Structure 1
Amino acid sequence: MGQALAGISFWLGWALLALASMGTLYSLAAAVVVWRFFARTTSVGRHTEAVTILKPLHGAEPRLRENLASFRAQDYDGPVEMVCGVASADDPAIAAVEGARLVVDPTQHGANAKVSNLINMARSGPLAPIVVLSDSDIVVGPDYLARLVEALAQPGVGAVSCLYYGRGDAGFWSRLAAGWPSYQFLPGAVFAVAFGVATPCMGSTIALRRETLERIGGFKAFADVLADDHAIGRAVEGLGLKVAVPPMLVVHACDEASLGALWRHELRWAATVKGITPGAYAASVIGFPFALALLGAMLASQGWSVVAAALAARLAVALVVDRVSGARTMPLWWLPVRDVLSFAVFVASFFARSVDWRGARLRMAQGGRIRAASETPR
């Protein structure tokens, strides 16, 4: 029995090492693709169409005032209104709102609190011809709106979304958390966009015309959908329009103050993606070559050269991302820990049946829909 288990462990170890070798090649290819993607130059014309920016807020964030201010400091020729929404008059996020219209409305329209917030903001006043949705933890440059509207003006484009890298705002755990969007999410997303494998639509930014929003049923159509950003993108594509992802980066500000907060946040994201595209998500295991190689080497008692090669490839990815973003997300010597933690979240996501969203427990249902964990299944 012992010999049989040892044999299984040995061959499983080598299978993991083979998978890690594939992941190493993928990582090197992703580093090249990321560099080339952001090396592209795009011209930006002068646009004057009115824009409404919707910012759903909930709770205090370390640099929320600064994050919001970046959306007001835009080099854009047309009129821009920013609308911030909260569900409670005592929400601490209100203190950070300046130069924007504030909507306080506790009305809940479905299980997705963020979408309820968007519905309340949208019905509080008229929207401009161009509507931009963006999460509270996003920071942008002064050419952000001009580049969005330029991309939206291209033929056949129905929505525009933005790729992002991480920035830690609350100490060690937030900086470690920031490594995930920078070094795990971003390379995979760029690779998918560059080769036409997928066109992600992300909460970092969704820009679309008001008439397009109305044609897809408004925000109410997504009130019980966990991945509302993804669902909006697919609805736009259902109209025969494209979701464009231009070669520009915004910042995702991470505020995780503990390992528990990091784990809950990343597990929610991972479980959401798994529920949307389970096959593609499972195949993304090759994006963890270092963790795979490390586990394989321990089981097979050899193959440590594969571990070294995998780590070198992951360092290449991190260096390229830091170069194109113009910022060092986290110390590079943290990368092995970050990669092992990312792989642990990946494995755990296959067993997740509910997720935490800002303190609310949401039970995942079929088709990417959600309900409060306390609700009785219908």
Structure 2
Amino acid sequence: MPAFIPDILAAIAMVGVAYNLAGAALAGRWRDTPAKRPAATPSITMLKPLYGPEPELAVKLSGFLDQDYDGPIAMVCGVSRADDPALAAVPATARTVIDPARHGSNAKVSNLINMMREVDGEIVILSDSDMSVPRDYAARIAAALEEPGVGAVTLLYSGRGETNGWSRMAAAGISWGFLPSVMVGLATGLAKPCMGSTIAMRRETLDAIGGFERFRDLLADDNAIGMAVRELGLQVVVPAPIVTHSCTETSLAALAAHELRWNATVRMLDPAGYAGSIVTYPLVWGLIAWIAGACWWVPFVALLARLALAERIDVITGRRTAPLWWLPARDLLSFGLYVGAFFTRRVDWRGAQLHMARDGRMTAEPETRYP
């Protein structure tokens, strides 16, 4: 092996160390502060496309209605089948749309298209069914949308395991990996996120971008919605708070399938950025450098940087995502799935096999039925 190889590997690891320390420092920007109250309280419709059973779904849905907000809030929940188990969790005050009509390959967007006939709010807030939010959620969004030039609001999210150790391992991937990467990307201007955790906009903005019909064949519909809003010359802003994504994976296979889909989507949307994110795994590179002949302190420093970032994120989100001693295993798993996404052309999404095209569109095989 050439003598310079360990030095190159160690340098990559040190770049990753700097990235992790920057993430730990920047995370403070999203430390929760008292909510700014909106000057007006326009009516809000919460959109909840549902599919299948989820732990604590009724509690999560109710949280979106139990808001410290003076204006009217309505919720529309949508499913494609009358026997969907998610219907049992729908709040009594919510409107329910049961419609099997399919519009395009994206089942969630198809559901949203069907649900729009029940929407009458001045503000429309779309969020994934596995999200939990604080009581000032609606007020913060309404206040953010009042700012000049703001077309949409999206929110960062951390992970919380809901089932067993694998769900906590999945949560660690979100909180200790994904979340700080978006924070650094926002601070440097390299990231322009719009995430399914929350997409909020005025009804006229949604109409101006062509409604949900425009995104019916796109895998990354949330990202595409953000791009469409920016095409209007409007901003997509990311204020506090950090909301919570409930992880329900119960096996390594489920975790890998979910994260491969997510990684493959990011790679498809931003190939150069995804390739560049290889430096965000300093512990892995430190270990490789050490095996190749670099000094022992390279992986040690990388481990300290990763632990500092994980601890910082957990302090800001107010909970221990997973035991810190899991972090090395989590990083090795993340790196393996990162590499695997370069070879993925088909992903699983809630029982449907999605075939990914280079333009971001997809075709879908039939969905599986509930057991």
TM-score, normalization by structure 2: 0.95
Match of 2:217 in 1: 224
Match of 1:166 in 2: 159
Deviation of 1:39 (Å): 6.4
Would you say 1:316 and 2:324 are equivalent positions? no
Secondary structure of the structure 2 residue equivalent to 1:84: strand
Would you say 1:188 and 2:184 are equivalent positions? no
Secondary structure of the structure 1 residue equivalent to 2:240: coil
Match of 1:238 in 2: 231
Match of 2:256 in 1: 263
Report the residue type matching 1:285 in the other structure. I
For the aligned residues, what is the CA RMSD?
1.5
Corresponding residue to 1:154 among 147, 156, 167:
147
Q: Residue 126 and residue 83 in structure 1: after superposition, are their counterparts in 2 closer, same or farther (change >3 A)?
A: closer
Q: Gaps (5+ residues) in structure 2?
A: 367-371
Corresponding residue to 2:195 among 191, 198, 202:
202
Match of 2:116 in 1: 122
Secondary structure of the structure 2 residue equivalent to 1:47: coil
Report the residue type matching 1:266 in the other structure. E
Q: Gaps (5+ residues) in structure 1?
A: 1-6
Deviation of 1:15 (Å): 2.5
Match of 1:109 in 2: 103
Deviation of 1:63 (Å): 1.4
| Correspondences of 1:295-314 after superposition (within 5 Å) | 295-298=288-291, 300-314=292-306
| Cα separation, 2, equivalents of 1:344 and 1:173 | 16
| Cα separation, 2, equivalents of 1:179 and 1:328 | 9
Match of 2:317 in 1: 325
Deviation of 1:192 (Å): 1.4
Match of 2:13 in 1: 20
CA contact (8 A) 1:46 1:77 kept: no
Secondary structure of the structure 1 residue equivalent to 2:320: coil
| Cα separation, 2, equivalents of 1:130 and 1:368 | 28
Q: Which deviations, in whole Å up to 9, do the C-alpha atoms of 1:298-343 show, x marking residues without a partner?
A: 2x13332110111100111111101111111111111111111111
Report the residue type matching 1:174 in the other structure. S
Secondary structure of the structure 1 residue equivalent to 2:344: coil
CA contact (8 A) 2:58 2:90 kept: yes
Deviation of 1:42 (Å): 5.9
Q: Residue 61 and residue 192 in structure 1: after superposition, are their counterparts in 2 closer, same or farther (change >3 A)?
A: same
CA contact (8 A) 1:164 1:252 kept: yes
CA contact (8 A) 2:219 2:360 kept: yes
CA contact (8 A) 1:37 1:194 kept: no
Would you say 1:64 and 2:50 are equivalent positions? no
Would you say 1:143 and 2:146 are equivalent positions? no
Deviation of 1:35 (Å): 1.8
| Cα separation, 1, equivalents of 2:349 and 2:59 | 23
Identity %: 53
Secondary structure of the structure 2 residue equivalent to 1:366: coil
Moved more, 35-44 or 222-231: 35-44
Corresponding residue to 2:342 among 341, 344, 350:
350
| Cα separation, 1, equivalents of 2:187 and 2:88 | 41
Q: Which deviations, in whole Å up to 9, do the C-alpha atoms of 1:275-305 show, x marking residues without a partner?
A: 001111111112111112112222x133321
Would you say 1:100 and 2:103 are equivalent positions? no
Q: State how many pairs are aligned.
A: 365
Deviation of 1:30 (Å): 1.0
| Cα separation, 2, equivalents of 1:134 and 1:282 | 29
